[in-house]
Structures are given as C-alpha cells and as structure tokens.
Structure 1
Amino acid sequence: MAGVKRRGAAHGNGRRAAGELEAGVLAALWAAGEPLTAAQVNEQLPGDLAYTTVLTILSRLYDKGVLTRHREGRGYAYAPVEDEATHTAERMRSLLDRGPDRAAVLSRFVSELSAQDERLLHRLLAEQGRLASDHASPLA
C-alpha cells in the first residue's frame, strides 16, 4: 500500500512526531524499571534514531518535569517521575478539563468501553464510593 499515510506513522519526510517519540521514550523507561542513559534508551527504541534525537527528547521530558535525572559518567541517567498508570490518568484528566462539555465527553468515553472495562469501572467506582463513605465526617 505505497503512498498510504497511516495514523501514527512517520511523517512523509520519514520523521516521527515529537509526541510519538516522547511516548516511545517513556515506554522504554517504564519497561526498564530503572534509570537509563540516552544510549540505553536508544537501544530500546525501534528504528534507527540518532543518539542526539533521543538526548533531545530526554532533555525536553526532563524540562517538562516528566523525568528525573542523575549524573552517570559524563552524562545522565533518566527515570520517569510517575508510573505509567498515574501519567496516563493525569493526561486523561487534563484532556477532560480542557473540554467544553464534560458530561458529553464522559458519556462518549463510557459508551465505547468494552463490557469487561465497563464492569471494571463499576467495581472501581463502587470501591471509591465505599472509601469516601468510610472517611466521611460524622459532623457532615
């Protein structure tokens, strides 16, 4: 299927979007479970990225507060500030906060859940409800 541009694929000039590279770098760090240098991250990423590209992405993520770093040799080793679930939940909440119609967004989201995810969501909401009622003030 030559000439067909797929969503999430490299741009026509062979370059990937910065967000796609950031997601790949974060995924590599989460999978490692320990701080990695730019060279180690580069080894974990598919394709043939330049070391300097990976270093730029790591620096941007560090500047955004998404990564921590500590000195290792002449460079740094990087680690995510948050685990993957926390990071994803914060992104979802941020998108929800930016939308003009919260109810419509939540309604659409819930309507597109699989039956298994819907059951899980019901269970989680019930657990949160119990926790909230257990911690409610008797004076409230």
Structure 2
Amino acid sequence: MGRSERGAVLGPLESEVMDVLWRADEAMPVRGVLAELNRGRPSPLAYTTVMTVLSRLTERGVVRRAPGRRGYVYEAAVGSPAEIAVRQLLDDYGDAALASFVDQVGSDEELRARLRRLVEDS
C-alpha cells in the first residue's frame, strides 16, 4: 500500500515504524526498530524520537507493548492501515459510523455482493 493511502491514518514516520513492525517476525525493542529505520537513512533518527512514536502508537492501540529483557518490546496490534482507519472511525463515531455503513451497503448492490463474499471467505 502506498504512502498516500496511509497518510490519513498514519504520519510519515508512523508509517515507517509500522512497516518495520509488520515485516518483523517477532516483537522488537526500540533499538531494533531504530536500527531498521536508520538503515540507509542519510540523517539518523534519535532513539527518543522512535520511542515517542512507539509510545503514541501504543496509546492508540495500533501497537502492543510487552516487557522484554531490557525494557519493552513492540509488535503491531493491527494488520494493515485499513484496520487502523476502521478502528479510528469506530472510536470517533461509534454506532453512527456503523449505521452509515449499513445505509451504504443497503443502497448499493455491488457493495452488498462484495460484503457477502468477504463474510463467506472469513
């Protein structure tokens, strides 16, 4: 997914951090995320910058934090930018967002068919 598609839910650095976590095989400490982000970067990021981004993503429920050997380790709590957007929409608008979605599906046969396929495949 391109950066412009993530822009609405993640800032540029948040997108980079999430890309690192989505590619990771296991939870990572801040230093591990920092090392990945700084690989090939002309001006390296500071440890505290990455730690702050991870803390904010944790507060938003996008990242999970757990105790590690030395400090915390972080892993993605969501699978995609789309999931972040849906969570944000539901947090911001609750039942009104669901009601609007139902209205949209109810008035669009193609959308209903797509939803049916998604439900059957899950």
Measure, in 1, the Cα distance between the counterparts of 2:69 and 2:118. 47
Unaligned runs of 5+ in 2: 5-9, 94-99, 105-109
Matches within 5 A, 1:112-127: 126=113
- The structure carrying a bigger helix percent of its residues is 2
Matches within 5 A, 1:1-140: 19-46=11-38, 47=41, 48-84=44-80, 87-91=81-85, 94=89, 126=113, 128-129=115-116
Structure 1's consecutive aligned runs of 4 or more residues displaced over 3 angstroms after TM superposition are: 124-128
Measure, in 2, the Cα distance between the counterparts of 1:64 and 1:55. 14
After TM superposition, the score normalised by the length of structure 2 is: 0.59
Measure, in 2, the Cα distance between the counterparts of 1:90 and 1:26. 11
Checking the alignment, whether the CA contact within 8 Å between 2:27 and 2:73 is kept in structure 1 is: yes
Change (3 A) 1:65 1:90: closer
Measure, in 2, the Cα distance between the counterparts of 1:60 and 1:74. 20
Measure, in 2, the Cα distance between the counterparts of 1:67 and 1:37. 12
Of structures 1 and 2, the one with the larger relative CO (CA 8 A, separation 6+) is 2
- Shift of residue 44 of structure 1? 1.2
The RMSD of aligned alpha carbons is: 3.6
- Shift of residue 125 of structure 1? 5.8
Measure, in 1, the Cα distance between the counterparts of 2:64 and 2:37. 19
After TM superposition, the score normalised by the length of structure 1 is: 0.52
Bigger-Rg structure (1/2): 1
Percent identity at matched positions?
36
Measure, in 2, the Cα distance between the counterparts of 1:63 and 1:50. 20
Checking the alignment, whether the CA contact within 8 Å between 2:67 and 2:73 is kept in structure 1 is: yes
The alignment of Structure 1 onto Structure 2 pairs a total of residues equal to 94
CA deviations 1:16-37 (Å, max 9, x no partner) are xx81111111110001132111
